Amino acid sequence: MKYISTRGGAEALGFEDVLLAGLARDGGLYVPEVWPTLTPDTIASFRDKPFVEIAVEVIHPFTGDEISRDELRRMASEAYATFDTSEVTPLVEIKPGLTILELFHGPTLAFKDVAMQLLARLMDHVLEKRGARATIVGATSGDTGGAAIEAFRSSKRVDVVILFPKGRVSDVQRRMMTTPTEPNVHAVAIEGTFDDCQALVKAMFNDHAFRDRVELSGVNSINWARIVAQVTYYFWAASRIGTTEPLSFSVPTGNFGDIFASYVAKRLGLPIDKLIIASNENDILPRAVATGVYAMKDVIATSSPSMDIQISSNFERYLFEASDRDADFVRSSMTSLIATGSFELGRTGSRLKQDFAAVSASEADVADAIRRTKTAYGYVLDPHTACAFVAAERVAPAGNTVILSTAHPAKFPDAIEAITGARPALPAHQAHLMTDAEKFDTLPNSLSSVQKFVLKHCRVAAGTPQ
Ligand SMILES: Cc1ncc(COP(=O)(O)O)c(C=O)c1O
Ligand SMILES: N[C@@H](CCOP(=O)(O)O)C(=O)O
């Protein structure tokens, strides 16, 4: 299996190289040269398989022979043993036809653990094989950072620097990044927004001398392996719901990673009815679907901070597909976005409307949904999941709809307490979190400052022997 860049100007790479590369050298995102498919019989056989086996079947077509099924199975088994349930991502039917897919049973209580726990094992495996080392620089609006630090904190071959927007993540999210004490993990508060953090990361990838010097790698969903590992739970959900009718999925959306994973599941052959993009008040995607123009506004701080995003990285992967793989169109759209803050979707706009429905949930909608589901079903949604609940109520067709629950409500205790009057407790394994000492640096939104920090802290640049 080879991967090509959405901007058409980078060398095609195999899975292991794409895993380590993160962003393509022309600034684009990697996608498979050819989409694999799973047969209806294979998909039907998932009904009797545990999560790990489904993951192996879904991921292996993307790794090809570079990673054997047995190696993949071993790594997936280890990764998902860190979850608090053998089901990994259990389903809860709250009313007939409406099911919550709980993706928050991993160590940092958000859906990021599903991919990150596997990604860390895959990266260590490949680096070990090559006798190499890597420096990961990641951007987070709250959850990717904690998941990455947790997954890589015992890695001997990887240093991790995570940039988060100062004052714009919850206390629990921040502490998951700032309390680990291992010397290879570093959290940095940036004086800016998540979009600024993500732009800094992309700028470091596009500075080839820097990139090569630190062996830069990425764990944001710009990394193809993140997307692939997130495709697994769409198949898992369908296998457990067990209907032959296509399902609809309502997906809380920020960086367009998880919803793009649902699109990949559909391309692989999973029968899907409607894919619903659920945004908070940062409604760039619903506006793009409605108007055919992708136009940035200032970011608004909401009770679902992880989705306070304007530049949805993975939308580029979708544009590439919807334009029938027109790399020139993708490149000029991305150039226009950076230069002017917007671009016209052109003919991809009608495809977007066919492929997705999109809803923006206001803060009042979110609070109302959290109160109503608590009263009606005794179920407390986190604010991100509540956006997906609101979206499903508005546009889901008849039939079975799955709402992706991307975080545990205890990650956002202040927001939940303000809405319901009750403060959700952290699970026992995180009970120490709010009293542990914190360690982090604060930097301005400046590429040179962040690069200096990375150079100072990463072992590759320091010349530590392999
Ligand atoms: C809790 C939570 N829900 C939803 C999202 C949105 O996911 P994506 O960025 O893949 O669209 C995020 C951030 O990525 C998140 O942390
Ligand atoms: N919501 C994310 C933002 C980064 O998304 P990613 O999926 O590209 O890593 C976060 O919580 O950090």
CATH of the domain at 403: 3.40.50.1100
Q: Does 65 reside within a domain?
A: no
Structure tokens at 392: 């499903």
CB within 8 A of 308, min separation 6: which ones? 141, 168, 193, 194, 254, 280, 282, 299, 300, 301, 302
Q: Does 261 reside within a domain?
A: yes
Closest ligand 2 atom, residue 220 Cα: 9
- Band of the pLDDT at 464, cuts 50, 70, 90? low
344: β partners? 293
Report pLDDT digits (tens) over 336-361.
999 999 999 999 999 999 999 999 99
CA angle 270/276/278 to nearest 5° reads 140
Q: Does 337 reside within a domain?
A: yes
Closest ligand 2 atom, residue 112 Cα: 7
Q: Does 406 reside within a domain?
A: yes
Q: Does 82 reside within a domain?
A: no
Q: Report how many domains make up the chain.
A: 1
Q: Does 335 reside within a domain?
A: yes
CA distance 352 to 330: 15
Residues spanned by the domain of 308: 91-106+224-420
Q: Please name which of 231, 236, 232 lies closest in space to residue 317, comparing C-alpha atoms.
A: 231
Question: Which residues does a 6 A CB cutoff place in the pocket of ligand 1?
Answer: 110, 141-143, 221, 252-259, 306-307, 384, 406-407
Residue type, 322: A
- Band of the pLDDT at 459, cuts 50, 70, 90? confident
Q: Does 383 reside within a domain?
A: yes
* 49 is an active site residue: no
Looking at residue 465, what is its pLDDT? 45
Report pLDDT digits (tens) over 21-52.
999 999 999 999 999 999 999 999 999 999 99
Please choose from 220, 310, 311, 385 the residue to mutate so as to test ligand 2's pocket, defined by most ligand atoms within 8 A of CB: 220
Q: Please name which of 105, 108, 169, 111 lies closest in space to residue 415, comparing C-alpha atoms.
A: 169
Dihedral over alpha carbons 111, 197, 349, 301 (to 10 degrees): 70
Alpha carbon nearest to ligand 2 atom 12, residue:
140
Q: Does 242 reside within a domain?
A: yes
Q: Please name which of 461, 411, 438, 384 lies closest in space to residue 137, comparing C-alpha atoms.
A: 461
Alpha carbon nearest to ligand 2 atom 9, residue:
220
Q: Which of 2, 49, 95, 112 is catalytic?
A: 112
Decide if 260 contacts 413 (C-beta within 8 A): no
